[in-house]
Amino acid sequence: MPIFEYECGACGGRLERLVRNAGDVPKSCPACGARKISKVLSTFSVGAAPAHKHEHTPSAACSSCSSSGACPYGG
């Protein structure tokens, strides 16, 4: 489910919304009413995964590397 996190630019409050269409996007802060809501990039929404971090040493591929085969260090 596409649950997005938003942050209020005025009070810094966070809110989460289940967004199924554009009408579900919050337009104002429920806490202070400011219309400074910006979307927070959450760790849940990794659609097109950016280059993942390599916590491992070049000689040992991490689990995500070995499954995707995209690791320059793996294999």
Instruction: Name the site residues for Zn ion (rule: CB under 5 A).
Output: 8, 10-11, 13, 29, 31-32, 34
Strand bridging mode 37-40 / 14-18: unpaired
Q: Report in angstroms how near the CB of residue 26 gets to Zn ion at its nearest.
A: 10
Q: Report in angstroms how near the CB of residue 35 gets to Zn ion at its nearest.
A: 9
Q: Report in angstroms how near the CB of residue 18 gets to Zn ion at its nearest.
A: 20
Q: Whose Cβ is closer to Zn ion: residue 8's or residue 71's?
A: 8
